[in-house]
Amino acid sequence: MLEKVRAYNIKFIQKASPTSSDAFDFCRVYRFYTDAIPTCQKLKYIVRAEAHDKVFAIKFYAARDKKLDNKYNRTLGVYDYISALRIFVTCASLIPKLMKDFPDYSYIVNGARTIDINKKIENESETQRFRVYRALATRIIGTQLFEHYQFKEISSYLLVRKQPNINIEDEKNKIKQMFLDRYEIEDIW
């Protein structure tokens, strides 16, 4: 079934620099539009690939939510399963595009905690989005170029780029430490 799910057409918008409160080095910003459905007009989504050393953190949100603090956590509740998968597949389709310019980079995604329309907040461990990322990662990205790591406690999924003369486990630990330092989070990985 997944082979029938195609990505939306994604376009590069701009390169963005960090503000004083950002921990990333630079960011590439993309956009795509979903198809219109009976319950909703087509929506514009923004995808951010934030570079941290040699790791891109992939984030996305509906453009209409851009001013909201919880823009990465919102569930719109308008898509069926296949339409929602298309959004995730579109974000994953960014990796081969980024690899053309940044062939040695690794990738990380965090399955943001869902906040539904009733303001119910999902538990941080193994969120719905994390479970989708985990299910899609090996099928879409594969294991030839990347080693896959799951950090279930914080719903993060890491793809470490396999390279000659690089110890993958050491690279994973280096990336982990970089994020711990930049975001001052507890060492729960």
Structural domain boundaries enclosing 79: 2-183
Question: Looking at the predicted structure, is the pLDDT value of residue 97 above 50?
Answer: yes
Q: Does the pLDDT at position 168 exceed 90?
A: yes
Tell me what the mean pLDDT of segment 117-125 comes to: 79
Number of domains forming the structure of the chain: 1
Q: Is residue 175 part of a domain?
A: yes
Q: Is residue 189 part of a domain?
A: no
In a domain, 149, yes or no: yes
pTM above 0.85, yes or no: yes
C-beta neighbour count of 108 within 10 angstroms: 20
Residue 107 confidence (pLDDT): 97
Rg of the chain on CA atoms, in Å: 16
Cα of 133 vs its chain's centroid, Å: 8
Domain membership flag for residue 188: no
Residue 70 reports pLDDT greater than 90: no
Q: Does residue 114 or residue 62 have the better pLDDT?
A: 62
Give the Cα separation of 146 and 78 in Å (integer): 33
User: What crossing angle do the helices spanning 128-140 and 81-92 adopt, rounded to 10°?
Assistant: 60
